Structure 1
C-alpha cells in the first residue's frame, strides 16, 4: 500500500481528534462509525456526513426532567437560532416581576387623645332598680319566673337592684342567671334574711362593707340588709338599703319599721357618703313623705320635700327608689310592666338612671 503524503496524514489525525472530542463532551454517544470522505487539499469540501450528536439544546423547564430531554433536531439553521419547541418552553415560564422599593409616606399623625380616665372624686353614673319577684310560696313556677326576671334585669341594663320576697329556690336561680353580679346577703343572714337581696354588677362596683338592722315584717322579725359599694373608676362610695315593710292593715308595724329605717339612713349619711334606699314600702306616699322630711332624700320620680311633700311624677306605686338629696341626680325613671315583668310578678320593675357626686374613699 502506497504511503500517504505527510499533509494527508496530519489532516486525518486532526479529524480523528475533533471527532473524539465531540463525542467525549456530548451527552449522548455518537451512533455508529463516522463516515469521512477525504479529498485532496484545495477541494471545497473537507469533511462530509459527520453524523455526530452534540449536547441537546433544550433545558429542563416547567417540570420537565433532564432524563426526558430529547436530542436536538438536525437543522441547517445556525445554532444561535432558537427552535420552535425552545421558544414555546421559554414562553411558558412564569416570570417574577422585579421588586420595587417604594418611598415611605409621611408618618401617621397621632389620634387626638380620648377623654381622661376617671379620677377619685369624679361623678359617676349607673342604673338602679327595685323589684319584688313574687316568692315561690305565693305563686307556682317560682324558679322559671325568677329566671325570666333575671333576664329582665340584664336586658334593662340595671347595675344595682334591690330584690324582695326571694325564696331559697329562687335565690339559686338568680345566683346562676345573673352572670357578672354579686348578690348579698345570700343565705348569710339566715332563712329570714334570704327574703331581701341586693345585687350589683362586679365590673362597676366592689363591696366595701355590709350590715343589717332588724324590723318587724308580717309579725316576724326580719333583717334589713345594707351594703357599702365603691365605684371602681372613681373610688366613690355609696350605701344601698333594701327594705320590705309590712303589708295590708299592719300600719303600726309599718310605721315602726319606717322609723328604724330613717335612723339607719341618718346614721349612714353621717359618714358623708351617698345613701340609697329601695324596696317595697307597701305605701304609696306616706313612706316617702316621712323619710324625705326626716332625711332630705329625693325620689327617682322627682319627688322631694321642701316645706311640704311633692310626690313626683306618676304612676305612684308602693315600690320606691330614694337617694340623698344634693348628691344624686335621677333621670329616666321607669315604672316597668313590660314582658316578662307583667306575668312573672305582681309588681312593677321600677328603675332609673342616676348620677352620683361621690365621697372619696378615706384611708
Structure 2
C-alpha cells in the first residue's frame, strides 16, 4: 500500500524559517564583532561594503587557499605569507634608495667668456687702443666675481691672462688645462664648489683645418655629489685674414656632438660652452636631436628649429635634464672695456637622480 506524504504543516515551515534566519543573524553578528575587534585593530580595508558583500571564508582543502562568495562572485583569499629577512643586498639597496631620496638638486652658475687674447692688444696687435691684457683680465675677474659664476669656459685665455686670473682669485679657482697645456681654451671652477675628477682634451678643427686641443673635464659637485661633464670650445670664424672657414666649423661641430654623445653614454649630464662663431646653425645642430638644450631658450624638435631671439655667437648648452634660468648676455659696462665679446651666464639646475 502506497503511503502518501501530506502537505507540510504551515506552522512547522514557519518555525524552520525563523530558526534559519536566527542562525544566519547570529553568524553575521559574530563575524561583524570579529572584524571590528580583530588582532592589531587594523581598519577594514573595504569600509564601504554592504551586508551583501560580507564573505564567509571556508578552506576548500588544507592545500588550497580559502575561498569566499562575495556579492555573487567567488573570490580567492590571499594566502598568508611569512615575512622574510632582508639580506645584505637588500639592505644595501635600501640605503642607496634612501640616499637618492635625500639628495638635493645640483644648482650652479655657468658662464662662457671670450676674454680677447693678450696677443690682440699687445704692441703690434690688431686691437689698437685697448687696455693691456693684465688690466683687462683684472676687469674680467671682477665681472666673474660680481655675477657669482662658479664654472666658466674661457676662450682666448692666453698665458699671461691665466696667471692674472689665478693670482687675483687667490687659490679660490682652478683651471684646466691652463698653463699646463694650451691655455687658450680652458675651463675654470671654484674649488669650494667643485672637485676635478678627470680632465682631457679633444682635437677640434680650427682655422684652415689646423686642429687645436680643446678641453673637457668631469667635475664633482661637493654639495650634492653630482658629477657633470663640461666641454669648452672655440670654432673658427670666417674672416678676411683667414678666409671662409664654414667647412671647418661644420667639422668642428660634428666632432663636438660626437663627444657629447660619448659622454652621455657614461650617464652624466653635459654642459657645452664656447664661442662657436655661428648663430642659428649651431643652435639647430646641437639641440636638434633633443639631447641638448640652450640656456637662452629656443625650440628644436621634430624637424622644426626655432632659435632664441637676439642670438650671438657665444653659447651655453646643456643636457636636456638640466633646467636653465636667469640667463644673461651682458655687453655693457666693464664688459665692453675688458673684451669684444659679451659675458654670458646662466643658472643651471640638475634634479636628483630619483626625480628624473
TM-score (norm 1): 0.63
- Please say if 1:167 is aligned against 2:163: no
**Gaps (5+ residues) in structure 2?**
1-98, 123-131, 239-243
CA distance in 2, matches of 1:178, 1:298: 31
Deviation at 1:233, TM superposition (A): 1.4
Q: Deviations over 1:194-253 (max 9, x none)?
A: 110111111111111111110121133201100101111111011000000011120001
CA distance in 1, matches of 2:142, 2:323: 27
Deviation at 1:359, TM superposition (A): 5.4
Deviation at 1:358, TM superposition (A): 4.9
Contact 2:100 2:352 in 1 (8 A): no
Q: Which residue of 2 aligns with 1:315?
A: 310
Which secondary structure does the structure 2 equivalent of 1:287 belong to?
Answer: helix
Question: For 1:126, which of 78, 90, 108 is the aligned residue?
Answer: 108
Question: For 1:302, which of 286, 297, 301 is the aligned residue?
Answer: 297
- Please say if 1:258 is aligned against 2:253: yes
Q: Which residue of 2 aligns with 1:97?
A: none
TM-score (norm 2): 0.64
Q: Which residue of 2 aligns with 1:244?
A: 234
Where does 1:95-134 land on structure 2 (aligned, <5 Å)? 121-134=103-116
- Matched pairs, number: 239
Deviation at 1:119, TM superposition (A): 7.7
CA distance in 1, matches of 2:100, 2:139: 35
Deviation at 1:121, TM superposition (A): 4.1
Contact 1:205 1:231 in 2 (8 A): yes
Where does 1:340-355 land on structure 2 (aligned, <5 Å)? 340-355=334-349
Which secondary structure does the structure 2 equivalent of 1:137 belong to?
Answer: helix
CA distance in 2, matches of 1:195, 1:170: 9
Q: Which residue of 2 aligns with 1:335?
A: 329
Runs of 4+ in structure 1 deviating by more than 3 angstroms, as ranges, are 117-121
Deviation at 1:297, TM superposition (A): 0.5
CA distance in 2, matches of 1:119, 1:165: 42
Q: Which residue of 1 aligns with 2:142?
A: 151
Which secondary structure does the structure 2 equivalent of 1:134 belong to?
Answer: coil
CA distance in 1, matches of 2:260, 2:352: 17
Q: Which residue of 1 aligns with 2:194?
A: 205
Q: Deviations over 1:228-286 (max 9, x none)?
A: 01111111011000000011120001100100000000000011110000010000111
Contact 2:324 2:346 in 1 (8 A): yes
- Please say if 1:215 is aligned against 2:197: no
